[in-house]
Amino acid sequence: MGFLIKSAFWLSLVLLFIPFDAVEGGHKADTVSPVVALAAAREAATDIGHICARKPEVCTVGQEALHTIGIRARAGAKLAYEMLDKHLDKSDLGKGDDALTTGSVASAGKPEK
């Protein structure tokens, strides 16, 4: 969700810098200067940064949500690791030479025939 919000924000800033004449209903529409838009975005980001002082419950819920997401991400990664570990055949790893041979370069110890 955060990715979508950030993407929309940056896309809207890029659209402000693209020069074109906006016509709305037959007359020229009011446009905002990119510098003014950037200053407004900076003020909005600063305001969002101070939200914990105004509404501490928002930050508390956000911290709990991030903690829960972290726990679930760790559990998902552990499950994925266990599934991959179960499906990989470990008996094939010990066979053959001690060095890994990819076949792209001839081994120094084995002459090609």
pLDDT digit string, tens, across residues 21-53: 655 555 565 667 778 878 888 888 888 888 888
Q: Classify residue 14: in a domain, yes or no.
A: no
Does residue 34 lie within any of the structural domains?
A: no
In a domain, 60, yes or no: yes
Residue 24 lies inside a defined structural domain of this protein: no
Alpha-carbon radius of gyration of the chain: 28
Q: Is residue 48 part of a domain?
A: no
The answer to the question of residue 1 being in a domain is no
pTM listed for this prediction? 0.40
Determine, yes or no, domain membership for 75: yes
Give the burial class of 60: count Cβ atoms within 10 A of its Cβ; 0-12 exposed, 13-18 middle, 19 or more buried: exposed
Q: Quote the number of domains for the chain.
A: 1
Range of the domain at 77: 55-87
Evaluate whether residue 66 is within a structural domain: yes
Give residue-wise pLDDT tens across range 51-101. Answer: 888 889 988 998 999 899 999 999 999 999 988 888 785 655 555 555 556
